[in-house]
Structures are given as structure tokens and as C-alpha cells.
Structure 1
């Protein structure tokens, strides 16, 4: 991989957003794939101790080896090159125009389906990583539980000093056409969660005004997000506990950019620590972003997003 010669980001032509047919989408996907690996700008900041320290605290990782040896946790690869929201020009990639064309074609719903990362080595303190993006595949149209859509797949490689690959990520999303014709003529919320046999109880609880946390029927361990097996005793006998609905804000981000279908920016996404011993991710609402702070007391509130989906969100707990 180190022998590749990724093209600069300026080689990606901007494509005007306009309604497109399925054939045009496939043709555009072929052109974007033919661009190969397109290199973006180097990270604005070098790998540094403060960011690593914040990451370790947020993840609850007490391993001292990273900072002792001057290394970054491998899963931080994307952190160093994420672009801050700013007006004007931004680095383009082979993915941008294809996603814009899908939006123009009515495929405005989006849900991430899988992400696979490969680590070649640790990023070192002081080096600047450079991302290179390669669009690989557009599959569809396919009929899914969310609606008819396309699966778009791309790869990002982060290069370190000396053009040596540090990490790779395969990322795939489903871009789908939200269903129409709900009972109250309310448009479907475009960011539909993936509901399966392991998570259905959680979403059914939200509709009933209950915050349900998966619980092992054998050892009693609580777990969120839900899974098929207990991580402690490996039992598949699972039930749930109804949480109190109270929590403390453990960590949060204010999302400004890029635009998110169905949401107005800025909005706050928080990690809420429950007294039951688990953490849950959700939007913090009924509070201006500038007044949100770590440690604030929160209570769950349930917001209907369309005729079928109710999302648990978090509002400040009144004193």
C-alpha cells in the first residue's frame, strides 16, 4: 500500500445535484470508483497528548501504555483528520458527489450498516496523518425493511509520516427512499434504527414510555447496547430491566456539520450514565447547546419522530 500514489483532492470534480435515474447513479458510481484513491489534506493537528488523554477518559480506557510509549489508540485514526465545520471550501472525496446524487434521486434516508477497521501500526506523537478515500461499490437498488435503497461502500486509508499506512477503514451505508403514506400524513423520519430480535424490546419500550435495559437472566448483568449473548457468562437467556429514566451526562458533542436528514443543526449528542450502571447514547434536548455541560442531571423524554418511531432523548432534570 505504501507504493500507491493517491491523487490530490483537487482531482475530484464537483457534480451538480439534480434528479438522477438508477442508470445514471450506476454510471456515476463507476466514474467515482475509477478515480482510485484520492488523498485529502493532512490533519490540522499532529497526534498529541491532550486529545489522547480525552479519548481515553471518554472510552473509560485506563491502559497507561499509550501515553507512556507516545502512541495513540488505534481506533483514534479517524479523530485526527475529521474536518471541523466551517464555511467555504472543504476537502472533497470520491464519496461526496455520489451521496449528493443519491439525495437528489430521493434516497434521502441514511443508516450506517457496517464499519471494519484494520490497524497496521500505532500512530505516534507528533506525526500528522493524511486520509485517502477510495470509493469501491454501489449495490442496488435493493428492497430493505427501511425502503428501497442503495448500499454505498468506500475505504479510507490513513497515512503517516513517510507515506506509511497506519490504519484502514471500510465504511458502508444504506441510502434509502423513506416510505410514504403514513396514517397521519406525517413524513417518515429518515434516520431509522436497525431493529432486530436483539433490539426490538428496546424500541417497543420506548413506544410504551419505558427505558428498557437488556439484562442477563442467569447472572443479572445489565448491558447496553443489547446483544445476542451476555458478555460476562455467555448466556443467551436475556430479559430486560426498566431503568429509572434518570442519568448524568458523561460526555457529549455538538453536531454542526454535515447536515443530517430530519434534524436541524446544531444539536447535541450525549453519552448518558445511568444509575443502573450502563451508558446510553441519545440527543440532549430542551437545553441550548451552549448550556450543556458534563455532569448535568438528565431525565429521559420520549419524542415521536413519525407514526412508528419513538426516540428516547434526554432533557435537564428540574431541581
Structure 2
């Protein structure tokens, strides 16, 4: 005998494969002004995105499909029905969780963008810290002048907010600093930190220095690289003072700075040795390595007296 939960999931699964947006058209063709604004906002100076023969940065893929303030004019009936059904099930709140993109061909100025979106999957009921609900994944196929150029998967959680907070964990005498995320692209950087060395990637093709670490050069596209060790000298390029929200192992208020290293690259770190309300743009800083526990050592920058 089918349970109520099985029946609910069957109703939700019936929407898989149905359109979420059909035959949408980008509001503007791919164009150089939007590419320029994107690159300025992201600090991307690659020559591939400038001048004759320019292409659009691949990560702009979704930009060309967005409706702006006019709303979702291309959204389909089935997708709205699915959201209403989830609302009826008590899943009245929503949060975006992640997205994935696949790039199949470059987008160039003048390309006309069309797209179709399908409801790819609806998960069973899941329990999260926010509450219980269902993950809904949509897949958008994006075409340039009719040719498939990329796919964009977007996942949301439609959930019923938890009625009571989860039991608070037992207080820890000394909350641990968050662990850095180490992957194959940045492992060399963290090995250097463990040796109290601040290593900067250098492209072996064009010599451009880059930080944070990347699998390839964003100036010439060369995948080869070596490293140079930073001198440790720098200045505060920009900063914010964190007051809220409080977070275990951090003691607000404190200053977080974008530091301009003498070598020309920038990195985000804490400024120490200077009261948070005395940090200013342009003050000189010097690299230090601070151990927060037996496992975590991080590069920080100490303010230097003028």
C-alpha cells in the first residue's frame, strides 16, 4: 500500500522533465559594454575580453538570460504549479543552494541568445538546519544563434522553516577557527603557508603573477606555472570592519583588508597590531604567520608604524 509520503513524492516527481521556461530570448545580444562592466566589476583584465575578436567571459553565461527588473516573463505554468504545490506542503520559504555551468562554445558580441529551461529533478523530503523541504534543480540550455553554447543548472531548496531551533551544541572552551578549503588548485599555496612562506603563482607563459591560485593563467590562458615567494611588504588597498554577525572563534569588531602586496597582487587577510578603528587605506603592513591552533596557521598582516 502506497504511503502518503510516497504519494507526495510521486506528485512532485511528475514535474521532472517539464518546462520551467520555454523559448526564452535574451533581452540584449552579447555586447561589449556588458562584457566591459562585468570585467571591471570582477577585476578581470584578460585581453581575450577586449577589442576586435573579443569573447564574453564564460562565467557570464547566465547574465545573457536574466530578465532584470521586468520579472520572469518566460517562466512556465508547470514550474509555477510545482512551487504552489510545495507551498501547500508547508515549504513556503526558499533559498538558492548552488549552480553548475558547462561551457560548450565561446559567446561573441552580436550573438543572439535563446534558452529553454526544464525541471530536471525534485528531491525527496530532506532535513536541513533551515528546516525540511525539497531540492528543485532546473537545467537551462543556452544557445547562441541556435547553437548550444552552454548549460546552467540551478538548485533551490523549498522548505518549511524549523519551528524550534536545534539544540545548542555543548559550549567549547575555545572555538576552533574555520578550516581552510584545500583542493588540487591551491594545495601548493597552503604547503607554503605551513612553511611560513607566502607563495604567489607565476605563469610560465607570460610571467603574470596571480592570486588567488588558479588552474590556468587568466591573462594568456597558459596552464603552466611556477611560484615566487612574496617579500611580505604591502599596503591596505581596501578594508571593512566586521561587527555582525558574531561567529565562533572571531571576536568582533575586527578589520578585514584587501592587501596590495609589493609584487602587485592582492589578497584578503586580517590586519593585526592596529586597532580596528585605526585601519586606513594606504597604511603599510607586513606579513606574519599566526597559529590559531595545532592545525591552522594563516597569513595575517601587521600594521607598520609610519
- Asked whether 1:70 is paired with 2:49, we answer no
Partner residue, 2:105:
121
3-state SS, counterpart of residue 16 of structure 2: helix
3-state SS, counterpart of residue 163 of structure 2: coil
Partner residue, 2:129:
145
User: Residue 182 and residue 147 in structure 1: after superposition, are their counterparts in 2 closer, same or farther (change >3 A)?
Assistant: closer
- Asked whether 1:45 is paired with 2:34, we answer no
Match of residue 60, structure 1, among 25, 39, 43:
43
User: Residue 108 and residue 128 in structure 1: after superposition, are their counterparts in 2 closer, same or farther (change >3 A)?
Assistant: same
Give the alignment's TM-score, normalised by structure 1: 0.50
Q: Is the 8 A contact 2:16 2:122 kept in 1?
A: no
Match of residue 83, structure 2, among 99, 123, 131:
99
Q: Describe the superposition over 1:263-292 as per-residue Cα deviations: whole angstroms up to 9, x where unpaired.
A: xxxxxxxxxx94445579xxxxxxxxxxxx
Q: Is the 8 A contact 2:130 2:162 kept in 1?
A: yes
Match of residue 160, structure 1, among 131, 139, 144:
144
Bigger radius of gyration: 2
Paired residues in the alignment total 193
- CA positional deviation for 1:22: 5.7
Give, in whole Å, the separation in 1 of the partners of 2:268 and 2:7.
Answer: 44
Q: Which moved more, 1:168-177 or 1:99-108?
A: 99-108
Q: Is the 8 A contact 1:29 1:137 kept in 2?
A: no
Match of residue 30, structure 1, among 2, 5, 13:
13
- CA positional deviation for 1:111: 3.1
User: Residue 97 and residue 37 in structure 1: after superposition, are their counterparts in 2 closer, same or farther (change >3 A)?
Assistant: closer
Give, in whole Å, the separation in 2 of the partners of 1:38 and 1:110.
Answer: 19
Partner residue, 1:110:
94
Give, in whole Å, the separation in 2 of the partners of 1:83 and 1:23.
Answer: 36
Give, in whole Å, the separation in 2 of the partners of 1:124 and 1:22.
Answer: 48
User: Residue 38 and residue 92 in structure 1: after superposition, are their counterparts in 2 closer, same or farther (change >3 A)?
Assistant: closer
Q: Is the 8 A contact 2:22 2:74 kept in 1?
A: no
Q: Is the 8 A contact 1:39 1:130 kept in 2?
A: no
Partner residue, 1:170:
153
Give the alignment's TM-score, normalised by structure 2: 0.52
Match of residue 163, structure 2, among 162, 166, 180:
180
User: Residue 97 and residue 181 in structure 1: after superposition, are their counterparts in 2 closer, same or farther (change >3 A)?
Assistant: same
- CA positional deviation for 1:220: 5.8
Q: Is the 8 A contact 1:123 1:160 kept in 2?
A: yes
- CA positional deviation for 1:96: 3.5
3-state SS, counterpart of residue 78 of structure 1: helix
Point out where structure 1 has 5 or more consecutive residues left out of the alignment.
1-20, 184-195, 200-215, 222-229, 234-242, 249-272, 281-296, 298-319
Give, in whole Å, the separation in 1 of the partners of 2:17 and 2:150.
Answer: 22
Q: Is the 8 A contact 1:131 1:159 kept in 2?
A: yes
Q: Over aligned residue pairs, what C-alpha RMSD do you find?
A: 3.9
User: Residue 23 and residue 91 in structure 1: after superposition, are their counterparts in 2 closer, same or farther (change >3 A)?
Assistant: farther
User: Residue 56 and residue 246 in structure 1: after superposition, are their counterparts in 2 closer, same or farther (change >3 A)?
Assistant: closer
User: Residue 37 and residue 90 in structure 1: after superposition, are their counterparts in 2 closer, same or farther (change >3 A)?
Assistant: closer
Give, in whole Å, the separation in 2 of the partners of 1:50 and 1:166.
Answer: 20
Match of residue 135, structure 1, among 116, 119, 126:
119
